[in-house]
């Protein structure tokens, strides 16, 4: 379908160009800076940040409160740089109106998008402007692209208009999300696909709920959205909904529950009663006797994740996992895909290093027989599945994939940062086509070894980000192999 940009975003952009005297601060931390995420994770693993940190956009208010409280105690040597790194990021976001430009170039668009800067086109110019008042905030972000993977010449990703109501942030936005503790990938909501326009309700301060029973959950974060999944799907005007709750019953343990859904669309039931059926789980034709294929409300994912921090051998460790059901049985998720990871951080007053290993498995058997795969992120009604423009909104590696990733990143005094990754991948493991045709990443079962790296540094009063990747792939069924490299660069300048 042809994308009609939200009028709200266009109005916000016009207002931003004519406004110049507001005290500015983002209400949240977005998904664009993996180095900042790793510093936040290090502080959470070390007990400095006590608020939940595994839902992005991540509200800054609780993070700022925890960092302020940290100065009343002793800060471990290995977390001093991480603390300053996050404090600097929050202070930078509190400048007066922020206006800037980002230029991007790539030899090819990313096959896999992890947490961090997105490269969805070979050439891109991004103009942005952000302001805030006591009761509202907004950012206009306009992207002009060349050779984008979704064939769009212009987009408004990153734009939002938000208002503060009590302890809630209510926004109309088109921002990327990252739900879960994963470093390289998550399973339900990631920034792998183009963000969709949505109305969002998010708890601002993750304070405990002062009610019987609920107060034992500790600091708690909540968010829910209602969006429109415009894209090249054969069914138009698909509605999207998602909700996430994550909380910390102890300072070491964070638990999250997630549910997302596609529903409605052209020539489908779109009323409130349909949404209620979806919430009740009455949306599986052939399982619920009262639901026919024609009446089936939608396509859902649901599950939970955890992150457990522990100090061992003089070092802070984090062990995390995610379990997501592609379907449901007896009111609980079934046909589960999963992810597990182990991470640690080390550093000094001059740097912070983040080291992790992560395994992700989206190879699911939904047929309960000898035939496996061709299931995760698929649906018979929405034939492009849980995707936008051919990219999974969940796992970086889409369905039928098993991926082991080793990553190391560093942020250092002087504004320089770098990262490296090694990925061992089995893609489209079942070697089958999907409802909409070939697998979005590989038409055949493929083994791939990939190395990635990046370096970021200040340059000409701006920030230069360089990235590259090299992979070797093998497709046994064709007796073929291939080696390819790609390079990406961006430069951001703020006036």
46 within some domain: yes
What is the domain-level CATH number for residue 54? 2.40.160.130
Of residues 293 and 90, the one with the higher pLDDT is: 90
1 within some domain: no
Q: Where is average pLDDT lowest: 315-324, 335-344, 360-369?
A: 360-369
Share of the chain above pLDDT 90, in %: 61
Q: Mean pLDDT across the stretch 132-140?
A: 88
DSSP 280: H
On whether the CB atoms of residues 207 and 165 are closer than 8 A, the answer is: no
Of residues 453 and 332, the one with the higher pLDDT is: 453
CA atoms within 13 Å, Cβ hemisphere of 159: 26
Of residues 439 and 473, the one with the higher pLDDT is: 473
102 within some domain: yes
70-85 pLDDT per residue, tens = 988 889 999 999 999 9
Q: Mean pLDDT across the stretch 30-46?
A: 96
Q: Mean pLDDT across the stretch 171-186?
A: 96
Domain count, the chain: 1
Find all residues with CB under 8 Å of 413, minimum gap 6, and list them. Answer: 81, 350, 351
Please report the pLDDT score of residue 18 as a whole number: 29
Q: Which two three-digit tokens encode residue 141?
A: 């972000």
2 within some domain: no
108 within some domain: yes
Average pLDDT, the chain: 86
375 within some domain: yes
- C-alpha distances (whole Å) from 134 to each of 24, 150, 165, 321, 359 are 10, 37, 11, 38, 43
450 within some domain: yes
Count the helices and strands in the chain (H runs, E runs).
5, 25
Of residues 4 and 53, the one with the higher pLDDT is: 53
Please report the pLDDT score of residue 286 as a whole number: 47
Q: In which domain, by residue range, is 301 found?
A: 7-494
218-241 pLDDT per residue, tens = 999 999 999 988 655 567 788 899
Beta bridge mates, 343: 318, 356
157 within some domain: yes
| DSSP-assigned letters across all residues of 138-162 | EEEEEEEEEEETT--SEE-TT-EEE
DSSP 215: G
Q: How far is 226 from 196, CA to CA, in rounded Å?
A: 10
For β-strands 462-475 and 446-459, DSSP reports them as antiparallel
């Amino acid at each position: 379908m042809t994308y009609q940009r939200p009028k709200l975003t266009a109005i916000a952009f016009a207002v931003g160009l004519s406004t110049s005297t507001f005290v500015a601060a983002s209400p949240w931390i977005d998904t664009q800076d993996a180095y900042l995420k790793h510093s936040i994770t290090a502080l959470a693993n070390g007990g400095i940040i006590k608020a939940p940190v595994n839902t992005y956009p991540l509200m800054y208010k609780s993070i700022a409160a925890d960092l302020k409280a940290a100065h009343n105690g002793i800060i471990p040597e290995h977390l001093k740089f991480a603390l300053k790194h996050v404090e600097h990021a929050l202070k930078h976001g509190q400048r007066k109106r922020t206006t800037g430009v980002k230029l991007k170039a790539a030899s090819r668009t990313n096959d896999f998008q992890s947490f961090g800067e997105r490269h969805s086109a070979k050439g891109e110019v991004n103009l942005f402007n952000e302001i805030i008042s006591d009761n509202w905030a907004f950012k206009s972000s306009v992207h002009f692209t060349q050779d984008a993977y979704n064939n769009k010449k212009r987009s408004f990703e990153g734009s939002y208009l938000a208002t503060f109501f009590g302890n809630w942030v209510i926004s109309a936005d088109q921002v990327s999300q990252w739900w879960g503790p994963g470093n390289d990938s998550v399973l339900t909501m990631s920034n792998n696909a183009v963000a969709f326009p949505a109305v969002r309700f998010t708890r601002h301060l993750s304070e405990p709920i002062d009610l019987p029973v609920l107060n034992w959950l500790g600091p708690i974060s909540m968010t829910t959205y209602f969006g429109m999944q415009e894209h090249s799907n054969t069914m138009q005007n698909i509605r999207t909904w998602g909700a996430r709750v994550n909380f910390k019953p102890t300072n070491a343990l964070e638990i999250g529950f997630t549910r997302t859904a596609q529903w409605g669309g052209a020539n489908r039931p779109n009323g409130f009663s349909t949404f209620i059926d979806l919430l009740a789980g009455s949306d599986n034709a052939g399982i619920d006797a009262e639901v026919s294929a024609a009446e089936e409300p939608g396509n859902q994912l649901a599950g939970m994740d955890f992150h457990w921090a522990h100090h061992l051998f003089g070092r802070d460790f984090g062990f995390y996992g995610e379990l997501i059901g592609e379907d449901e049985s007896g009111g609980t998720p079934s046909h589960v895909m999963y992810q597990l990871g182990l991470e640690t951080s080390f550093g000094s007053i001059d740097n912070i290093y983040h080291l992790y290993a992560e395994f992700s498995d989206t190879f699911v058997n939904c047929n309960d027989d000898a035939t496996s795969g061709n299931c995760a992120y698929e649906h018979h009604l929405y034939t492009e599945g849980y995707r936008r423009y051919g990219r999974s909104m969940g796992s970086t590696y889409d369905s039928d994939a098993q991926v082991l990733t080793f990553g190391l990143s560093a942020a250092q005094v002087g504004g320089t940062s770098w990262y490296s990754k090694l990925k061992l991948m089995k893609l489209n493991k079942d070697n089958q086509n999907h409802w909409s045709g070939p697998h979005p990443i590989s038409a055949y079962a493929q083994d791939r070894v990939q190395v990635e790296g990046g370096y970021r540094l200040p340059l000409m009063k701006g920030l230069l980000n360089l990235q590259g990747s090299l992979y070797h792939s093998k497709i046994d069924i064709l007796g073929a192999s291939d080696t390819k490299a790609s390079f990406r660069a961006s430069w951001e300048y703020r006036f």
